[in-house]
A and B are shown apart, each in its own frame.
Chain A
Amino acid sequence: MKPARFVYHAPTTLEATVQLLAELNVEAKLLAGGQSLIPMLNMRLVRPGHLIDLQHVSELAGIHERDGGIAIGAMTRQRQVERSPLVAERIPLLAEAVRHVGHLPIRTRGTIGGSIAHADPAAELPGVLLALDGTVHLVSVKGERTVAARDFFVDILTTAAEPDELVREVWFPRLPERSGSAWLEVARRHGDYALVGIGAVVTLADDGQAVAEARLCFISVAARPVRATQVEAALRGAPVTPATWRQAGALVQEELDPPADLHASAHYRRYVAGVLAERALELAARRAQEGAGR
């Protein structure tokens, strides 16, 4: 289990990086944290001619406030996100979900941009980005562009990024007032990819008695993270009661059409998605009521 040969590049500026990427195009793979890419290289499941290591590109690191939300540079390690007080305060759903990414020694290397660009349908961070209606900022020699999360994740391990584009940063908008969020997932073992995972956001109406807006984003139930848009529509204006969450869970089971794999059948995923939806909505609503930002 040793990787095939490749040519290694370690650019130190963003400009040099996009230049390289423009030249090498599909011949090159970007090496961020490597926690998904290097296993595939070791197994020779992917064999790029060139690897472009992003670790020395300082423009890609860091967490900062921007446009009323939080922008996180692509090379920011998941562990830094996990430890960030700013993330904990402003994007609690991200703070809650990132702890489910692999294990500690994976998160110390794994990056937020790497996870977003890899687009594993069972990965947490793409799910968070989609749940929060965040955006992905791409850069290439042709310039920069911003893609909404709903347009970015296309298929299994496939995104809207062109071969010459790299993820520069991801941006998470702050939730409106009276919002709460919750991340829940079921995995076979602690730290495994989720069999089903959900990020839920509930924003309450002014009186706190009804749902102004709810968002439900699932991972591991389709080829990409998906929102349960019909359930979200049905929840608009619904009363904040256990029955609402229970009905929403049942609707989720109707709306989703998950695949089967070795670890869980389609039935399992559909059923548990409903269960988790009910639980996550209730938790998110409670957090919204408690005003904890969560």
Chain B
Amino acid sequence: MSTNGVERKRIRLTVNGAPVEREVEARLLLSDFLRHELGLTGTHVGCEHGVCGACTVLVDGEPARSCLMFAIQADGHIVETVEGLAASDDALHPLQRAFWEKHGLQCGYCTPGMLMVLKAFLAENPNPTEGEVREAISGNLCRCTGYQNIVEAALEAARLLRQHS
């Protein structure tokens, strides 16, 4: 469990439905683990102090900042990232379709965090008001869009998801 005197621990978790097992140093942030150990670079890093929300993933279905978790804390848990959102490249998730349709992204850097927080939010509140959507994404900073089209996209995705269910 130790190389060069550095303690490493084996963790097992589920990422986007698949089991993952790795040895990690305790201080490795979950964001770095996902991006640089697993190559899931869709989760972005914008501040590493828990404000910008670009690194938001789902842990056991709940949105969480992956920069404010150590990978080791995810041992035994279920993690979902933007890479797991679409069933396949040809079958975008309704949120992804709505973001495309409504021009809900520009540079695309905040987008994965927005998508993941909205996935959890719409699961709990399938028919939100504009105000509720704004509050739901208020922990995710976007510097490009002024949020308006993100809000439109979220409302459109809610409509699409209601039609599906």
Contact = CB atoms under 8 A, between A and B. Distances in A.
Contacts of A31: 73
Interface of A is mostly: loop
B65 A105 contact: yes
A8 B70 contact: yes
Contact of B139 (A1, A79, A104): A104
A106 B26 contact: no
Contacts of B135: 190
Given A2-B29, A42-B49, A43-B49, A103 B139 contact: yes
Contact of A105 (B26, B29, B70, B117): B117
B36 to A, nearest CB: 12
Nearest to B62: A108
B72 A38 contact: no
A158 interface: no
A149 interface: no
A34 to B, nearest CB: 6
Nearest to B25: A5
A249 B128 CA distance: 37
Nearest to A53: B73
Contacts of A108: 59, 62-64
B26 A103 contact: no
Contacts of A53: 72-73
A3 interface: yes
Given A8-B72, A35-B68, A105 B63 contact: yes
A6 to B, nearest CB: 6
Contacts of B69: 34, 38, 109
Nearest to A50: B26
Interface residues of B, number: 32
B60 to A, nearest CB: 9
Given A34-B73, A105-B56, A106-B50, A2 B27 contact: yes
B67 interface: yes
Contacts of A2: 27, 29, 32, 48
A68 B68 CA distance: 36
A173 B37 CA distance: 48
A189 B121 CA distance: 21
Contacts of A55: 73
A105 B48 contact: no
Given A5-B6, A35-B68, A108-B63, A102 B26 contact: no
A3 B48 CA distance: 10
B63 A51 contact: no
B26 A6 contact: yes
B29 A102 contact: no
Contacts of B139: 102-106, 191
Nearest to A43: B49
A85 interface: no
A191 B117 CA distance: 15
B9 interface: yes
Interface in B58-82: 59, 62-65, 67-70, 72-73, 75
B136 interface: yes
A105 B53 contact: yes
Q: Which 4 A-B pairs have the closest CB atoms?
A: A103-B139, A8-B26, A39-B49, A108-B62
Given A2-B29, A39-B49, A42-B29, 13 more contacts: A7-B26, A8-B7, A10-B75, A38-B67, A38-B70, A39-B68, A103-B53, A104-B120, A104-B121, A105-B62, A105-B139, A109-B64, A191-B139
Interface of B: 6-7, 9, 25-27, 29, 32, 48-50, 53, 56, 59, 62-65, 67-70, 72-73, 75, 117, 120-121, 135-136, 138-139
Interface of A: 1-8, 10, 31, 34-35, 38-39, 41-43, 51, 53, 55, 79, 102-106, 108-109, 189-191
13 contacts: A3-B29, A5-B26, A8-B9, A8-B72, A34-B70, A103-B138, A104-B63, A104-B139, A105-B117, A108-B63, A108-B64, A109-B59, A191-B139
